[in-house]
């Protein structure tokens, strides 16, 4: 899929992750181009799925039967204030509602206001599991989108607790029998 890059909106697809980057106010023409890009992506996925299911002569398609996940990046500093940030996220909400084949969405932002707004938006889009992350949490967000554990553990076993680690506290020796009330 050919990436879309407008003045303040960029849409790319790598593997099954669609990256949406917003760097300022989105013009209506840019939003319309983004909606067309999403429609073309979904049509290509449906066409690929149909081709795969029509018979052995069609050959496999790498996109066949795939859904996709979304990652939306919006930095608060790219906007003139919370009002503009909210307005632009509302426009992105329109884009998200058109992503009917998407299963997950990670919203990365440094704005607490936008993270909370994203949670509300996610609750009203059927079939889309939406979580918000801070901009510096790109690795956990990507791991979540790929269905991997958020924290990577070095070993599979829980660490053993030795007797030295369980040294009692002063409260362990408390005996209530000798106290009169």
Q: Look at residue 98 in the predicted model and tell me its pLDDT.
A: 94
* Topology (CATH) of 4-54+63-150: Transcription Regulator spoIIAA (3.30.750)
Give every CB contact of residue 23 below 8 A, 6+ residues apart in sequence: 8, 9, 10, 75, 78
pLDDT at res. 175 = 72
**Domain ranges within the chain, ordered by starting residue:** 4-54+63-150
Instruction: List pLDDT tens digits, range 37-91.
Output: 999 999 998 876 555 544 444 444 444 457 899 999 999 999 999 899 999 999 9
pLDDT at site 15: 84
Q: What pLDDT is attached to residue 1?
A: 82
Rounded to the nearest integer, the mean pLDDT of the chain is 83
3-state secondary structure labels for all residues of 91-121: HHHHHHHHCCCEEEEEEEECCHHHHHHHHHH
What is the arithmetic mean of pLDDT over 171-181? 70
Report how far residue 79's alpha carbon sits from residue 24's, in angstroms, rounded to the nearest whole number.
5
More confident residue, 74 or 180: 74
**Residue 60: its pLDDT value, please?**
41
pLDDT digits (tens, 9 = 90+) for 93-136: 999 999 999 999 999 999 999 999 999 988 889 899 999 999 99
Q: What is the distance between the alpha carbons of residues 145 and 27, in angstroms, rounded to a whole number?
A: 28
Which pLDDT belongs to residue 59?
41
Which tokens in the block code for residue 135? 């901009």
User: Above 80 in pLDDT, residue 166?
Assistant: no
pLDDT of residue 80: 92
């Amino acid at each position: 899929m050919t990436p879309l890059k407008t003045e303040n909106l960029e849409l790319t697809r790598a593997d099954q992750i669609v990256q949406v980057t917003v760097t300022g106010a989105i013009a209506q023409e840019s939003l319309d181009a983004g909606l067309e890009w999403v429609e073309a992506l979904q049509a290509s996925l449906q066409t690929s799925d149909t081709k795969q299911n029509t018979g052995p002569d069609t050959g496999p398609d790498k996109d066949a039967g795939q859904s996709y996940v979304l990652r939306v990046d919006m930095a608060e500093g790219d906007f003139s204030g919370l009002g503009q940030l909210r307005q632009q996220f509302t426009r992105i909400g329109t884009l998200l509602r058109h992503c009917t084949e998407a299963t997950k969405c990670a919203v990365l932002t440094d704005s607490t206001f936008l993270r909370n707004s994203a949670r509300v938006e996610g609750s009203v889009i059927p079939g889309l599991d939406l979580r918000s992350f801070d901009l510096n949490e790109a690795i956990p967000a990507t791991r979540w989108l790929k269905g991997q554990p958020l924290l990577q553990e070095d070993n599979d076993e829980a660490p053993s607790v030795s007797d030295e680690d369980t040294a009692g506290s002063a409260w362990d020796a408390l005996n209530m029998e000798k106290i009169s009330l």
